Chain A
């Protein structure tokens, strides 16, 4: 019935088209906790202007669905619980999203531009025979978006004329939606039969008590200048003093000082904290791509010519092995 009304009104009053936008946000979670970037994606979805629906798929969805039901801006939650969603494999989630799309006819489908969203959405998009917009930083209108290209060195404003707009959202470019005050209704959706072409075996997550890198207020990052993995302890001490997350440049990761998931940059994580402290990092284009939207940038480097000083609000030309312990000590006062 609604489709009929929709179609008729569209014919008579094209200006009403905007009213009938509806966005599906694919929730990212670990069966226990909603991943924070989903909240940023919900904000971006709200900016499109229509009704926001969230899809929670997993082996155990109750807790996460409950969390989302309170998130502001979400109208409806679709829950698909099935053992085949173990590891949230795109081969299994895609048929589910397509079935959901067939049923509800969303005009927009989005997710956070995390490893999860980047893995999944292009697969969905190709199945719908539409292009994907990756890592958008701004919603200009229901069909026009801004995204960065060339490692953040240019901003492209792109108009998407597809019947369904599929996009991933840069978390740091949108405020997280409020986690209280919402009241979304929950609806179960049926799961298509398992595709069975892939299998999730195991996960080895880097354990840390520090805040998560992409959403931390303060990030302390180290580069090649740290010289060894042991020396990163200097940064951990400083970070713990500030309640900061610790990041790294590609050089530090490649040299094996720290694990890959700490890499900040074009091909690692994009962060935009209140304060970013770059220690022993020269500031290559690829690293700047991941942190130059930080509010305040501090650089500690003994090379006064290092490109990092061109983007730093405060630069200290000094040996990091002297400066970092001094700073940790100064913060103790």
Chain B
């Protein structure tokens, strides 16, 4: 019986159409709806399921960022995580924070909490990096089961079915390990009102990266953020023949 760390990230809600700031320094986040990164929800669900199946005894939800990320941790607690850790990062450090810094925090916490699994989403839908899980595994020197669509614990090993380009592959990795969740791993549950109320009583510990000995310096510099080129408006065609004729005319088919 062991412990799982689950990483949850607060991101702009997936349904929001983002806007680039006029000064090209980033995207507008003030006053925009935020929620838990969809892949993190899947990671939380998987961790809670493993607990329900009695493979693990405790699920700890972790988020790095400003005060608002405690809401994201609360959501994870309402879904069934036992307690939370808020690693407080704000201002310039938060703006520059990337997967490398976050993975250092997770690696330090995994050791401190003596976790046997770290479960993360495969990517955050804001920076689209798809790196934190892999980096955390590297820093801990643990094996990684990325893009997992099925996870089975078998003693000290984890069997992971992974989504790869041509289909699926199955690997067996030894614990402790890092897993990253793909969309197909499970369907996250909704937090019920009683569980949301209960979650308010659960503990969220607060710490700083420095408490974990993590240096937040980043050597990546975002020079500018632009809107992607917009496509020219197209035309509506009336019939299939018309469509085929148009495609033939411009040499597409």
Contacts and interface: CB of A to CB of B under 8 A. Distances in A.
Given A114-B165, A159-B223, A199-B172, A267 B236 contact: no
Contact of A149 (B100, B126, B173, B253): B126
Given A132-B99, A327-B243, A261 B167 contact: yes
A197 interface: yes
B122 A267 contact: yes
B18 A123 contact: no
Interface stretch (B72-80, B83-91, B131-139, B201-209): B131-139
Contact of A131 (B20, B134, B142, B219): B219
Contacts of A126: 100, 103, 134-136, 138-139
B228 A153 contact: yes
Contact of B147 (A119, A132, A153, A317): A119
Contacts of A144: 223
A4 interface: no
Contact of A154 (B27, B136, B162): B27
Contacts of A234: none
B166 interface: yes
B183 A267 contact: yes
Given A149-B126, A267-B183, A312-B234, A158 B169 contact: no
A171 to B, nearest CB: 11
A203 B168 contact: yes
B149 A154 contact: no
A26 to B, nearest CB: 14
B1 interface: no
A275 interface: yes
Of B136, B221, B235, which is in contact with the most chain A CB atoms at under 10 Å from its CB? Answer: B221
A326 B221 CA distance: 52
A158 B220 contact: yes
Contacts, number: 252
B246 interface: yes
Contacts of A326: 240
A187 interface: no
Interface in A240-267: 242, 250, 253-254, 259-261, 266-267
Interface string A139-172: 0000010011111111111111110000000000
Contacts of A298: 243, 247
Contact residues of B: prevailing secondary structure: mixed
Contacts of A89: 171
Interface string B127-169: 1111111111111001110110100000000010011111111
A313 interface: yes
Given A123-B135, A242-B253, A331-B253, A261 B164 contact: yes
Contacts of A120: 134
Contacts of B159: 201
Contact of B129 (A132, A197, A204, A296): A132
A315 interface: yes
B169 A119 contact: no
B171 A198 contact: yes
B20 A314 contact: no
A254 B183 CA distance: 9
A122 B138 contact: yes
A150 B172 CA distance: 33
Given A286-B14, A312-B234, A313-B235, A330 B241 contact: yes
B128 A131 contact: no
Interface string A175-208: 0000000000000000000000111111111100
Given A154-B228, A296-B247, A330-B244, A197 B174 contact: yes
Contacts of A331: 244, 253
B226 interface: yes
Contact of A261 (B146, B166, B225): B166
Interface string A321-333: 0010011001100
Contacts of A296: 247, 250, 252
Contacts of A327: 240, 243-244
A312 B231 CA distance: 9
Contacts of A204: 167-169
B163 A260 contact: yes
A274 interface: yes
Nearest to B27: A154
Contacts of B239: 316
Interface of A: 87, 89-91, 94, 114-116, 118-127, 129-135, 144, 147-162, 197-206, 214, 218, 242, 250, 253-254, 259-261, 266-267, 269, 274-275, 285-286, 292, 295-298, 309, 311-318, 323, 326-327, 330-331
Interface of B: 12, 14-15, 17-18, 20, 27, 39, 98-100, 103, 122-123, 125-139, 142-144, 146-147, 149, 159, 162-174, 182-184, 218-228, 231-232, 234-241, 243-244, 246-247, 250, 252-253
12 contacts: A116-B165, A122-B133, A132-B99, A150-B18, A155-B226, A159-B221, A200-B170, A203-B168, A204-B169, A260-B163, A260-B168, A309-B234
Given A197-B142, A327-B243, 6 more contacts: A115-B147, A154-B226, A160-B219, A160-B221, A197-B174, A203-B166
